[in-house]
Structure 1
Amino acid sequence: MIRIGTSGWRYPPWRGTFYPPGLPQRRELEYLSGLVDSVEINGSFYSLQRPSSYQAWRREVPSGFVFAVKGGRYITHMHKLAGVQTALANFFASGPLALGDTLGPFLWQLPPVLRFDPDRLAGFFEQLPRTTTEAAALAAGHDEKLAGRVWLTTEADRPLRHALEVRHASFDQPEAVELLRHYGIALVVADTAGTFPYLEHVTADFVYVRLHGDRELYVSGYSAAALDGWAEKIRGWSAAGLDTYVYFDNDAKVHAPADAIALADRLT
């Protein structure tokens, strides 16, 4: 399985450029989902979303579409993965399970200051739910902040996947790779135009790729040659039996949707 899309979809510069002039904002996800088969929900990184939002997003996409969900920065950046039991419960209670069969992997992005700490990471990985049933059980431990706006059920017991995006050079070592492999957490292949470490180790039964910009972080698009190169990598992972999720995050100059569509075209 290969899924290609963008990181988010609600960007003012896209309006009238990628999105047709006059397209209502409420229909932007519907429009994008007709052209790509996956998207990252990144609003969940900045704040807890509502179950009603996840329900609406699910209704707006076609059958077979998949969402990746970005974990909250309150967990990754503020608490730096430590002492997050209640925070995790709140995150999973806020509604991602309402996505049902459109729910794909969870992305956990670490801040650049967070060094490799095997005990801290293992403690976090141990708490991550590996099925939707486990996620619902974890969500039941939410606190009063979410009173009246929780989603605590799953319509079917499905496996869950997790990916970790690291931004500190200390992760470039065998011990870090082996730890992620032990827990089946995908180490994100992040192209950041040289800003952060580029790591390409396979540590799970799937590969998660984030393309933040070919030459300039968040800004530059990908040339035809660069897209050809990524297509070749994806074919290799697919031939090895690995599912692959690819998300373009070079949204500043509206390159992300065009690049996602162009890469998908190379793989059809």
Structure 2
Amino acid sequence: MGGKIYIGISGWRYVPWRGEFYPPGLAQHRELEYASRQLPTIEINGSFYSLQRPESYAAWYEATPPGFVFSVKGNRYISHILRLRDVDPALSNVLASGMFKLREKLGPMLWQFPPNFAFDPERMEHFLSILPHDTAHALELARQHEPRMAGRAALEIDAKRKMRHAVEVRHDSFADERFVKMLRKYKVAVVVADTAGKWPYFEDVTADFMYLRLHGEKELYASGYTDEALDRWADRIRAWSLGGQPDDARTVSALAPPKRASRDVFCYFDNDIKVHAPYDAHRLMVRLGLRDSVAPRPAPPLKPG
């Protein structure tokens, strides 16, 4: 049967997309409404640059259709500024900032580290150990937020829901068996990141799901994917979704991953500069039997407003 497969895009607010992917004259505040009816999942990028507010998360929830899933990018204050030092209060702030407003549309959290951040086993293990794996635990941590969050924190959940985390690393020192073992211990996925050869590439299976970020086949953030490249990605995604891994998987660890009947797969295109991302996502979905061959698919009429 295989796990669920979600193919989407990283972010949705891009000037070059207006009048190209987005219909001419579409109001900017309706772009998420439109994009979420073309693709089943989108990464929230704004949460990386600054803490968002509960009302924003609530609005994003309302703008998207049933069954839609968001990935939330963790705040760079944790990964780039603190560099995993004394991160407990900062994590509480992130969790309190409003993501519980996404309710059943809350998908994985993505934690992206900078290219100059080397593997520090002690710091990384502490960070992985405090990541919550359900919303009830996340709420406990969120309640420990710093005073500056007063008046802009969302401290209520509608249900206890599973939470997932993925880590994207960009330093060669992470090609370390200890890192893979650590991720498996805490059930956190390593991001399979296609970066046109710029940063390390790992395909180790370390969790009950896979998280892929396709930044560009030949040129970072800019180049599109050929038919042959998309065929290859479709084959790999099928293998992962069926609980296995590709025969030619590029792994750090020689140890095989725990066996599973299936794994969910989240795949996001981040080659947005030249408007390739939404179209490449659609072409990959067609290959996986998740969409028909019409691209882009006409969106249903949008609600007035």
What range describes the TM-score normalised by the shorter chain of this pair? over 0.9
Question: Equivalents in 1 of 2:208, 2:230: separation in Å?
Answer: 23
Partner of 1:161: 164
- Partner-residue secondary structure (3-state), 1:136: helix
Task: Select which of 179, 183, 198 maps to 1:180.
Answer: 183
Secondary structure at 1:210 match in 2: strand
Q: CA deviation at 1:239?
A: 1.4
Higher-Rg structure is 2
- Hey, what does 2:211 align to over in structure 1? 208
Match of 1:265 among 267, 286, 305: 286
Aligned to 2:248: none
CA distance in 1 between counterparts of 2:124 and 2:270 reads: 25
Identity of aligned residues (%): 57
Q: Which residue of 2 aligns with 1:246?
A: 267
Matches of 1:73 and 1:79 in 2, distance apart? 9
Structure 2 residues not aligned, in runs of 5+: 244-261, 290-305
Amino acid at match of 1:237: W
Question: Equivalents in 2 of 1:230, 1:82: separation in Å?
Answer: 36
Aligned residue pairs, count:
268
Q: 2:108 maps to which residue?
A: 105
The SS at the match of 1:202 is coil
More helix by share: 1
Counterpart residue identity of residue 270, structure 2? D
The residue that corresponds to 2:194 in the other structure is 191
Deviations 1:235-256 (A, max 9, x none): 1011111110000000011111
- 1:10 maps to 2:31: no
Q: Tell me, in whole angstroms, the C-alpha distance in 2 between the residues paired with 1:246 and 1:161.
A: 14
Q: Of 144, 147, 156, which residue of structure 2 is paired with 1:144?
A: 147
CA RMSD of aligned residues (A): 0.7
**4+ residue segments displaced more than 3 Å:** none
| 2:130 matches 1:130 | no
Q: Which residue of structure 2 aligns with residue 66 of structure 1? A: 69
Select the residue among 230, 235, 239 that pairs with 1:232: 235
Q: CA deviation at 1:140?
A: 0.7
- In 1, Cα distance between the equivalents of 2:111 and 2:98? 17
> 1:176, 1:128 → 2: CA distance?
16
Whole-angstrom distance in 1 between the partners of 2:176 and 2:213? 20
Q: Deviations over 1:165-188 (max 9, x none)?
A: 000011112111111111111000
- Structure 1 residue 159 displacement after superposition: 1.1
Q: Residue 55 of structure 1: which of 48, 54, 58 is its match?
A: 58
Aligned match for 1:41, one of 36, 40, 44: 44
Structure 1: gaps spanning 5 or more residues? none
- 2:223 aligned with 1:220: yes
- Aligned 1:74-89 pairs, distance under 5 A: 74-89=77-92
Secondary structure of 2:7's counterpart equals strand
Instruction: Please list the CA deviations of residues 76-128 of structure 1 after superposition, one character each: whole Å capped at 9, or x if unmatched.
Output: 00001120111111111100111000000000001111111111111111111
Displacement of 1:144 after TM fit? 2.1
State the TM-score, normalized to the length of structure 1: 0.99
Letter of the 1:251 counterpart = D
Provide the C-alpha distance between the structure 2 equivalents of 1:164 and 1:97, rounded to a whole number of angstroms: 21
In the other structure, the counterpart of 2:122 is 119
Cα distance in 1 for partners of 2:84, 2:285 equals 34
The range that moved more, 202-211 or 258-267, is 258-267
